[in-house]
Amino acid sequence: MVKDSKAYIYAKWCVKKNNKKAPVYVKKQAEQWLKIANGKSKEAFVDERRLTQFAGYLS
């Protein structure tokens, strides 16, 4: 579910090697988000139930 979210897709786009459209600090934040979304952070996690609930509001 997380990997299908717009946030995850956008973050993946931001951190692409040759992406010159995303500013440096946006790329840094995207890297952190991907770390959290991929379960590699000890400090934070993604609540998939809340993500689904939030995504429902956007559609």
The domain spans of the chain are 2-58
- Count the helices and strands in the chain (H runs, E runs): 3, 0
Provide the pLDDT for residue 2. Answer: 87
Q: 28-39 burial string, b = 16+ CB within 10 Å, else e? A: eebeebbebbee
Provide the pLDDT for residue 58. Answer: 64
Provide the pLDDT for residue 45. Answer: 92
Mean pLDDT by runs of 10 across the 59 residues of the chain is 89 96 97 96 90 70
pTM of the model: 0.83
Provide the pLDDT for residue 57. Answer: 67
Provide the pLDDT for residue 53. Answer: 76
